């Protein structure tokens, strides 16, 4: 039985004052059935972890460097993120792939480093609109899974987020049939590569313009085990409604 996961990605948003949203979220949803995670900017990880301690909200990071330490000005290692209080890290988000030129090899190295530091990884995959229009979606997803996911994973420490690039921050979403097709495909690829035990345990999140208004229909799709949520994770009322929908699914 996979525990559902509602993961929020605050991206480059949030100052210390915004930690009040975590208090509000924890107060409104003190014992959700789903796992709840917020990935704030790195500047807030330790503050948020201290504030959320003992409550339902776990704290994660949005990226990590593949090296353990060294001359990498401005970067953060997985061990540093764990030390600050993160228990998850997102790798391969399309904004990192686009803004920082991170390819599958980089993402795989980051994921390996994160696992070595004891973090769980959320590996993001997703097609661009041009790739979908060219009917290449499943080939792209297949290639990203093969290239970005390291070999030594378990059902517990790996999460996949399917995030169509064209749906992120746009208010547009695939149809539920399109989401189901990709999630079923990802499940089959995981089972083929890692065996049924691991393959069936890994959670597969949908991400891309998830809102309170569309969460229920998305969570009803087969092999959707939760969501990676950007904009709608910034406010406790919106994210709380998404958590409630996931708890009901
Ligand atoms: C994201 O960036 O991971 C994301 C899904 O963003 P949004 O929910 O804002 O589309």
Q: Is 183 a catalytic residue?
A: no
Which candidate in 21, 127, 163, 183 is catalytic? 163
Nearest atom (ligand 1) to Cα of 90:
3
Q: Are 119 and 89 in contact (CB under 8 A)?
A: yes
pLDDT at 1 over 90: no
* Residue closest by Cα to atom 2 of ligand 1: 230
* pLDDT band at residue 231 using 50, 70 and 90 as cut-offs: very high
Domain that holds residue 144: 5-248
Task: Quote the CA–CA distance of 145 and 229 in Å, as a whole number.
Answer: 20
* pLDDT band at residue 113 using 50, 70 and 90 as cut-offs: very high
Which candidate in 93, 95, 127, 183 is catalytic? 93
pLDDT at residue number 227? 98
* Residue closest by Cα to atom 1 of ligand 1: 230
% of the chain surpassing 70 pLDDT: 100
Nearest to 89 by CA among 190, 243, 234, 228: 228
When pLDDT is averaged across residues 171-198 and rounded to a whole number, the result is: 98
pLDDT at residue number 21? 96
Q: How many CA atoms lie within 13 A of 82 on its CB side?
A: 14
Task: Quote the CA–CA distance of 61 and 78 in Å, as a whole number.
Answer: 9
Give the CATH number of the domain where residue 56 resides: 3.20.20.70
CA of 195 to the centre of ligand 1 (A): 30
* Residue closest by Cα to atom 8 of ligand 1: 230
Ligand 1 lined by 94 (C-beta under 6 Å): no
Ligand 1 lined by 126 (C-beta under 6 Å): no
CA of 232 to the centre of ligand 1 (A): 8
pLDDT at residue number 154? 96
Number of domains in the chain: 1
Ligand 1 lined by 209 (C-beta under 6 Å): yes
Q: Is 93 a catalytic residue?
A: yes
Task: Quote the CA–CA distance of 190 and 150 in Å, as a whole number.
Answer: 12
pLDDT in tens, 15-24: 999 999 999 9
Average pLDDT across the chain, whole number: 97
Indicate whether this model's pTM tops 0.75: yes
pLDDT in tens, 59-107: 999 999 999 999 999 999 999 999 999 999 999 999 999 999 999 999 9
When pLDDT is averaged across residues 1-6 and rounded to a whole number, the result is: 95
* Tokens (6 digits) for 221: 């799709």
pLDDT in tens, 119-150: 999 999 999 999 999 999 999 999 999 999 99
Nearest atom (ligand 1) to Cα of 231:
9
């Amino acid at each position: 039985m996979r525990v559902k996961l509602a993961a929020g990605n605050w991206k480059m948003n949030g100052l210390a004052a915004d930690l009040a949203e975590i208090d509000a979220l924890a107060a409104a949803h003190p014992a959700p059935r789903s796992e709840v995670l917020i990935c704030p900017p790195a500047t807030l990880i330790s503050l948020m972890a201290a504030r959320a301690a003992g409550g339902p909200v776990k704290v994660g990071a949005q990226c990590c460097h593949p090296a353990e330490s060294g001359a990498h000005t401005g970067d953060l290692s997985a061990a540093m993120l764990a030390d600050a209080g993160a228990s998850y890290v997102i790798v391969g988000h399309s904004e990192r792939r686009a803004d920082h030129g991170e390819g599958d090899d980089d993402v795989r190295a980051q994921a390996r480093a994160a696992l070595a530091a004891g973090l769980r990884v959320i590996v993001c995959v997703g097609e661009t609109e041009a790739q979908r229009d060219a009917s290449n979606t499943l080939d792209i997803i297949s290639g990203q899974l093969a290239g970005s996911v390291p070999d030594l994973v378990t059902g517990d420490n790996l999460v996949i987020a399917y995030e169509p690039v064209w749906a992120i921050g746009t208010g547009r979403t695939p149809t539920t049939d399109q989401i189901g097709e990709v999630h079923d495909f990802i499940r089959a690829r995981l089972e083929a590569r890692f065996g049924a035990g691991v393959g069936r345990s890994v959670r597969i999140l949908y991400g891309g313009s998830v809102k309170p208004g569309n969460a229920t229909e998305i969570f009803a799709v087969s092999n959707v085990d939760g969501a990676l949520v950007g904009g709608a994770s910034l406010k406790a009322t919106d994210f709380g409604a998404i958590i409630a929908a996931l708890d009901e699914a």
